[in-house]
Chains A and B, each alone.
Chain A
Amino acid sequence: MSQALKRKLADPRTGGLLGLAAVIAVLPLFLPNNFYYDVAIGAGLSAIVCVGLNLLIGYAGQISLGHAGFVGLGAYSSAVLTVEFGWHPLAAMTAGALGVGILAFLVARPILRLRGHYLAMATLGLGIIISIVVNTEAEYTGGPDGMTVPSLMFFGRELYGEAVWYWIVGAALLFTVWLSLNLIASPVGRALRAVHGSEPAAEIAGVDTAHYKVLVFVISAVIASLAGSLGAHYAGFVSPANVGFFRSIELVTMVVLGGMASTYGAVVGAAILTVLPQLLTGLEDYEHIAFGLILMLTVIFMPRGLVPSFFTIARNRLASAGAPPP
């Protein structure tokens, strides 16, 4: 292999995306039936949300304890606007994303001018309010029972079934990862990381920290909303079960476990924590214990998360095993 090609492949934007595409392409060979497809789609949708959430938590160093609320708003926008108001699904999806973006902006703008962990508190409150509204406005949302959602139409074709949705979610995930990698490798991404590193230093370097915090919060909320809409059309059903506080914490756990400030880490974290409960069937009672332990143990013993830690170890192995460099 030529040096240039090697370097391109080692670059997360080229090599990493190719790797992820290969995994998505090959995975169906190992999925014996629709149940497995369903788990894979669930993992993919969570991964999309987590890639966005990681921009906020991992790169910009802020925290949201209410992201499930944004996912839920996206899902319910798609459901309510299509069913109750007869909107086209794509219009409903767009409107949901727009509405969530505006809501996120309105909440974040006054709060992110303040330093500290105020965002955690505000997002927590917002998420819970959203989940209470969804549960209560049964006239529109079906309340705790949820409601059905029509399937997505694409050029007159109905998008239906696990096999079709696997590729839709796979493509959406690849696209989101690509956007996230691009963003991080740009002046905007560096500004986000600077906000995390030191707000006073970022400011005096000309970074409008409040602007960037609001920006990344809105971006991550919009991504969550779009993933929620996709999930609603895929499942054909929405319910408040996945809108609550615990789901928000699950999403944070995925990001933390996979690795903060690592786009691929967010994907890996989402995949592991989606698949794990399936392996533990019959042990549902222990799900809380497992999630709680994973969260605590990761932060205490592997604060950088799985993927970054793995790469550090791999690089050190290579360095110590490597003879004189080529």
Chain B
Amino acid sequence: MTLLKVEALSREFGGILAVDSLHFEIAPGSIHSIIGPNGAGKTTLFNLVTGVYAPSAGRVHFEGRDITGLAPHRLAAMGLSRTFQNLQIFFNMTALENVMVGLHLTLDRRLGAALFRLGGVARKERRARDAAAELMRFVGLEAYLDVDADAMPYGALKGLELARALASKPRLLLLDEPAAGLNPVETEEVAGLIRKIAQSGVTVVLVEHDMRLVMGVSDHVLVLDYGRKLAEGTVDEVRANPDVIAAYLGSGAAGGTHGA
């Protein structure tokens, strides 16, 4: 059984293939990493899988269903969630409200109930607050509950994205550079969180430049270069792969500075 299956997936921008006929599968219940130098197409791949971009060619299957071209909110309802490399925070809300948006699909979304405050909206909102607060505690942000998002430090915002993504109870969670810009202590905390999330049964796909983090948590690694699959396998297999070594030494600064 595969959870996510990508077939011949391509996407071009102005004549350049950012993702180039990519095939891979992701088995449920483990931590997968996708690595590769800057510009390799990792974020584009996430955008294709989550419906942010439409592919130029190829298909994406999730739990056996063809989800190619579906809007992100449909995928969210099917159990897919993600974080963003460039923070996508609701800066017009408090931290807690950010996480509450993640609960959207579990809440009462009827217009009539909202307008006339019927059907126990007030009570349900209180329960949603509690659930969101619980998630913020889980990612270690209990100090920020009612703080405006635009007053929070960068590291905390990274955690906030994670809490919001978890709020929709995903079965597949895509994390785009969750440790970028964090100090070693914070990175260690993120590693711990990723393990905890995976243990709770959520399949995690991780894009990350911090090789210590990648090598430390991954069950499976996929290496991208110029939009193509360069190598795939366990941490040890990938580390020993001559193509990978060549690419990483060749592209020098891009991947090398982050190396283990």
Contacts and interface: CB of A to CB of B under 8 A. Distances in A.
Whether A and B touch (Cβ < 8 Å) is answered with yes
A189 B97 CA distance: 11
A188 B114 contact: yes
B93 A206 contact: no
B104 A190 contact: yes
A200 interface: yes
Interface string B156-174: 0000010011011000000
Interface stretch (A93-101, A151-159, A177-185): A177-185
Contacts of A191: 101, 104, 109
B70 to A, nearest CB: 11
A196 B91 CA distance: 9
Interface stretch (A25-33, A82-90, A207-215, A286-294): A207-215
Interface string A215-246: 10000000000000000000000000000000
A300 B203 CA distance: 47
**Chain A CB within 10 Å, residue with most, of B50, B90, B111, B128:** B90
B165 A207 contact: no
A245 to B, nearest CB: 29
Given A200-B84, A208-B71, A209-B73, A186 B90 contact: no
Contact of A197 (B73, B76, B91, B125): B91
B114 A182 contact: yes
Contact of B114 (A186, A206, A209, A261): A186
A198 B90 contact: yes
Interface in A56-88: none
A203 B168 CA distance: 11
A315 to B, nearest CB: 12
A198 B104 contact: no
Nearest to A203: B72
B119 to A, nearest CB: 10
A74 B50 CA distance: 42
Contacts of A200: 52, 72, 84, 88
Contact of B76 (A185, A187, A203, A261): A203
Contacts of B91: 197
A318 interface: no
A205 B109 contact: no
B89 interface: yes
B92 A197 contact: yes
A261 B88 contact: no
A190 B100 CA distance: 8
B180 interface: no
B81 A186 contact: no
B248 to A, nearest CB: 30
B92 to A, nearest CB: 5
B107 interface: yes
Contacts of A207: 73, 101, 104
Interface of B: 50-52, 71-73, 75-77, 80-82, 84, 88-93, 97, 100-105, 107-109, 111, 113-117, 121, 125, 128, 161, 164-165, 167-168
Interface of A: 179, 182-183, 185-191, 193-194, 196-198, 200-209, 215, 261
Q: Report, nearest first, the 5 A-B pairs whose CB atoms are least far apart.
A: A197-B90, A186-B114, A203-B72, A201-B88, A206-B76
11 contacts: A197-B89, A197-B91, A198-B88, A198-B89, A201-B88, A204-B82, A205-B73, A205-B164, A207-B104, A208-B71, A261-B92
Given A189-B114, A190-B104, A208-B73, 14 more contacts: A182-B116, A186-B113, A187-B128, A188-B109, A191-B109, A193-B92, A193-B93, A194-B93, A196-B92, A197-B93, A201-B88, A205-B164, A206-B73, A208-B71
